[in-house]
């Protein structure tokens, strides 16, 4: 029997998950499993498990494969056959999959993957025990039923992003409710103590009884403040947990949205995302306590009825008046808040647009119109918000007045009842205290109606966002493809951008074989850049189909597609940070050798070596510290960091001087050998590194063929205008 050797086991939990999904469920690539998981800078993959930190990332990765997981701490001998297959956590960050035990439980069958094939091997259980950490992961197929119309929604939406998150803390909320019951019962201590002193202690001069009651009340007060502090602590813990989970869910949703589903303008969209802060504020201690205490008004009304009989009608009438007031004001407040949010979104859109185009704005001298729009928005917000603020101020003021009138009415009614010997002085004082406590929660809740409507409107906005289609819906039946050969085929592809009527591509068909280098030429607006975006699956064709390696692109996981492609946008985006950070943005874990090689291909070394800080130089926000040509060089080096089988370049040298362009093209010509390359260009020098040319005219294919043949056809008069 073969001895266990930890080097032959899987080297990470991610490998184990890939093998597990392939053997027991459905094949998934590593990239598709961790595509939406947070990865620390400088690391190649997320930390799926750590004894000193969160254990949640593995569960999230497994969920991408339609699997449910549970971490357990158990000795190997205590693991039941019913729990198999199971993933064991081993020393040195290793793991292994146990499929079964032998009948005498002296051997274990380990599932592993070798050169793409699943391997089943038996090992001595004692050897496994020596490396086993004592932690294991139960993995089971998720059989949650999902309606067909929800297939394109995220797993979080199917479970519901908001309510399912609150459900996680249901144990805490149950404890909070129990504590609230006790806290509200403790409220009875003061009025009952006062009543007993007036009705029993004073008439009978019972000093010992007085001190007995006093110590009892002090004990209740101590328990009351302790429970309130504990309740506040638990509510903050629950709010913190919900905050972290919900913000992660929302951000994941934003990153996973199809591009056509992202609301415009971006400034308005960003403002809508800020609505989560409103919901977070509503879930804080003070707000929740006010609503939790609301039902306990009934307890105080029952006690008032027990002490004073019909006098309970007075606080009931006051509560009904407050309730009617809240219902009447609910509609105008709701309408007003919705209108304010719309205006604030427009204002935020103006701000984002100005900040993104401040240089252009100054150069054009267009401050006047922008300032008019800005001040008009501010004026509308102030005017519209005036009504909301007045209503918000009216509610607590009117409620305070009603509470005062409630006290006066109870005292007047109490005097008549005392006169008729139906009520004692102590009971009247107790009723006054209890009536204020019975009315107060309703008044607090009414005062929070603006907060509630604001949170409710924010919830509706975010809920609409969470139901928008994703490009990688959970449990999608994508074909798992780890690597591509580089063949690309368009079959009668027609495409128009969302919310537009013009077809940017019309019945476009072509085939690019692996290793071919193709230039795409054409006048502006003919769809050259759009072809690259469709290949990246940033958008989907309106009609027709796109195939990569003879597989329809709709069957391929976007994560697998983009992992096998480099893309250089026409407008290269740089991020605030160092030159090194921007070159290695896609893979911050790469070593300096790879980074320097990519930098040399793109000519980045020319200006990096001349700078005192070299590759640690700050590029500034959006690369404002670099010239246009230098920014393009950084973009090219980013695209050449790895040997991608498919490379998509959009006007890669449009801002470069001739000498830099010649050097870059010479380097690219060598680097791209054997790789599929598509270059959108208007510059003739780039044609020296391609084999074929596609010419677009009127948004369709005009010419396509070998470079020499196309150039000859164009030179003989068959130009694009034909």
* Helix or strand holding residue 425 (H, E): helix 425-447
b/e sequence 193-230, b meaning 16+ C-beta within 10 Å: bbbbbbbebeeeeeeeebeebeeebeebeeebeebbee
Q: For the chain, what is the domain count?
A: 3
pLDDT of residue 285: 61
Q: Is the peptide bond before 662 cis (omega within 30 degrees of 0)?
A: no
Q: Is 330 part of any domain?
A: yes
Is the domain of 171 the same as that of 124? Answer: no
Q: Is 476 part of any domain?
A: no
CA 111 – CA 108 distance, rounded (Å): 10
Q: Nearest to residue 187, comparing CAs of 10, 440, 480? A: 440
Is the domain of 165 the same as that of 18? Answer: no
Residues 6+ apart with CB under 8 A from 271: 341, 344, 345, 348, 349
Number of residues assigned to the chain: 722
CB atoms near residue 677 (< 10 Å) = 25
pLDDT of residue 534: 94
Q: Which of 118, 148, 178 corresponds to the end of one domain?
A: 148
CA 17 – CA 112 distance, rounded (Å): 10
Is the domain of 277 the same as that of 382? Answer: yes
Is the domain of 266 the same as that of 366? Answer: yes
Q: Is 472 part of any domain?
A: no
Q: Is 324 part of any domain?
A: yes
Contact call for residues 194 and 426 (beta carbons, < 8 A)? yes
pLDDT of residue 370: 78
Q: Is 592 part of any domain?
A: yes
Is the domain of 448 the same as that of 494? Answer: no
Q: Which of 405, 433, 466 corresponds to the end of one domain?
A: 466
Q: Which of 148, 176, 196 corresponds to the end of one domain?
A: 148
Contact call for residues 375 and 345 (beta carbons, < 8 A)? no
Is the domain of 300 the same as that of 325? Answer: yes
Cα dihedral angle (453, 456, 461, 463), rounded to 10 degrees?
-170
Question: Tokens 């951008």 — which residue?
Answer: 497
Q: Is 445 part of any domain?
A: yes
269: three-class secondary structure by DSSP? helix
- Per run of 10 residues, the mean pLDDT along the chain (length 722 residues) is 32 76 73 72 65 62 78 84 83 81 85 75 85 84 53 50 80 86 85 83 83 89 90 84 81 83 76 76 70 80 88 90 83 80 80 78 75 81 78 81 90 88 85 86 75 79 84 73 88 90 91 94 90 92 93 89 90 87 84 89 90 87 85 92 92 90 92 92 90 91 89 70 38
Give the CATH number for residue 424: 1.20.1560.10
Is the domain of 144 the same as that of 283? Answer: no
pLDDT of residue 42: 63
**Domain range spanning residue 92?**
6-148
Residue 470 falls in which region: left (phi positive, over 0), alpha (psi -120 to 50) or beta:
beta
CA 484 – CA 517 distance, rounded (Å): 16
Q: Is 721 part of any domain?
A: no
Give the CATH number for residue 65: 3.90.70.10
Is the domain of 169 the same as that of 137? Answer: no
8-state DSSP, 244:
H
Is the domain of 106 the same as that of 218? Answer: no
Write out the two tokens for 607. Answer: 């200006």
Is the domain of 97 the same as that of 168? Answer: no
Residues 6+ apart with CB under 8 A from 12: 45, 48, 93, 94, 95
Is the domain of 229 the same as that of 167? Answer: yes
Q: Is 1 part of any domain?
A: no
Judged on CB neighbours under 10 Å (0-12, 13-18, 19+), 419 is exposed
pLDDT of residue 487: 92
Give the CATH number for residue 633: 3.40.50.300
CA 416 – CA 581 distance, rounded (Å): 82
Contact call for residues 619 and 579 (beta carbons, < 8 A)? yes
Q: Nearest to residue 526, comparing CAs of 694, 353, 641, 323? A: 694
pLDDT of residue 510: 94
Is the domain of 75 the same as that of 216? Answer: no
């Amino acid at each position: 029997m073969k001895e266990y050797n930890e080097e032959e086991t899987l080297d990470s939990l991610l490998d184990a998950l890939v093998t597990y999904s392939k053997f027991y469920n459905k094949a998934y690539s590593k990239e598709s499993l961790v595509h939406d998981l947070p990865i620390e800078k400088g690391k190649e993959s997320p930390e799926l498990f750590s004894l000193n930190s969160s254990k949640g990332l593995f569960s999230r990765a497994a969920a991408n494969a339609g699997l449910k997981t549970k971490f357990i701490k158990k000795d190997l001998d205590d693991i039941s056959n019913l729990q198999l297959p199971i993933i064991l956590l081993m020393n040195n960050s290793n793991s292994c999959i146990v499929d079964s035990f032998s009948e005498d439980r002296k051997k274990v069958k380990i599932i592993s993957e070798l050169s793409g094939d699943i391997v089943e091997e038996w090992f001595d259980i004692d050897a496994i025990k020596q490396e086993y950490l004592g932690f294991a992961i139960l993995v089971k197929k998720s059989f949650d039923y999902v309606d067909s119309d929800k297939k394109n929604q995220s797993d979080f939406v199917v479970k519901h992003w908001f309510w399912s998150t609150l459900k996680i803390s249901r144990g805490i909320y149950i404890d909070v409710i129990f504590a609230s019951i006790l806290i509200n019962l403790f409220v009875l201590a003061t009025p009952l103590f006062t009543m007993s002193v007036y009705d029993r202690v004073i008439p009978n001069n019972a000093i010992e009884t007085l001190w007995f009651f006093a110590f009892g009340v002090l004990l209740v007060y101590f328990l009351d403040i302790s429970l309130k502090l504990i309740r506040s602590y638990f509510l903050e813990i629950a709010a913190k947990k919900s905050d972290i989970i919900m913000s992660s869910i929302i951000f994941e949703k934003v990153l996973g949205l199809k591009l056509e589903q992202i609301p415009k303008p971006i400034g308005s969209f960003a403002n809508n995302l800020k609505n989560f802060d409103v919901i977070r504020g509503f879930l804080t201690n003070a707000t929740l306590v006010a609503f939790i205490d609301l039902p306990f008004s009934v307890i105080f009304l029952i006690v008032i009825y027990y002490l004073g009989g019909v006098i309970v009608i007075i606080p009931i009438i006051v509560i009904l008046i407050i309730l009617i007031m809240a219902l009447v004001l609910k509609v105008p407040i709701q309408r007003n808040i919705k209108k304010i949010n719309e205006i604030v979104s427009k204002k935020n859109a103006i701000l984002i647009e100005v900040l993104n185009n401040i240089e252009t704005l100054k150069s054009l001298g267009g401050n006047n119109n922008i300032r008019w729009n800005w001040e008009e928005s501010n004026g509308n917000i102030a005017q519209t918000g005036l009504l909301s603020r007045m209503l918000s101020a009216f509610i607590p003021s009117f409620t305070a007045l009603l509470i005062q009138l409630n006290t006066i009415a109870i005292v007047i009614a109490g005097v008549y009842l005392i006169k008729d010997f139906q009520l004692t002085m102590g009971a009247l004082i107790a009723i006054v205290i209890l009536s204020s406590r019975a009315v107060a929660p309703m008044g607090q809740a009414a005062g929070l109606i603006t907060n509630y409507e604001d949170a409710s409107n924010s919830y509706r906005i975010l809920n609409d966002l969470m139901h928008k289609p994703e490009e990688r819906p959970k449990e999608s039946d994508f074909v798992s493809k780890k690597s591509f050969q580089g063949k690309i085929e368009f079959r009668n592809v027609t495409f128009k951008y969302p919310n537009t009527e013009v077809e940017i591509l019309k019945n476009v068909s072509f085939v690019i074989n692996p290793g071919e280098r193709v230039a795409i030429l054409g006048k502006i607006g003919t769809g050259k850049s759009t072809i690259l975006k469709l290949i990246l699956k940033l958008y989907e064709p309106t009609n027709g189909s796109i195939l990569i390696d003879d597989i329809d692109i709709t069957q391929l996981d976007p994560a697998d597609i983009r992992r096998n492609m480099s893309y250089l946008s026409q407008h290269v985006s740089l991020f605030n940070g160092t030159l090194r950070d921007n070159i290695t943005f896609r893979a911050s874990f790469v070593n300096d050798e790879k980074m320097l090689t990519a930098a040399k291909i793109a000519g980045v070394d020319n200006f990096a070596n001349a700078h005192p800080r070299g590759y640690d130089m700050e590029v500034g926000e959006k690369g404002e510290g670099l010239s246009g040509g230098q920014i393009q060089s950084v973009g090219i080096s980013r695209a050449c960091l790895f040997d991608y089988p498919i490379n998509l370049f959009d006007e890669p040298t449009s801002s470069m001087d001739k000498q830099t362009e010649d050097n870059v093209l010479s380097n690219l010509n060598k680097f791209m050998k054997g790789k599929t390359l598509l270059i959108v260009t208007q510059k003739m020098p780039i044609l020296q590194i391609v084999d074929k040319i596609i010419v677009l005219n009127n948004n369709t294919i005009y010419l396509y063929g070998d470079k020499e043949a196309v150039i000859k056809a164009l030179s003989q008069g068959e130009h694009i205008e034909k």
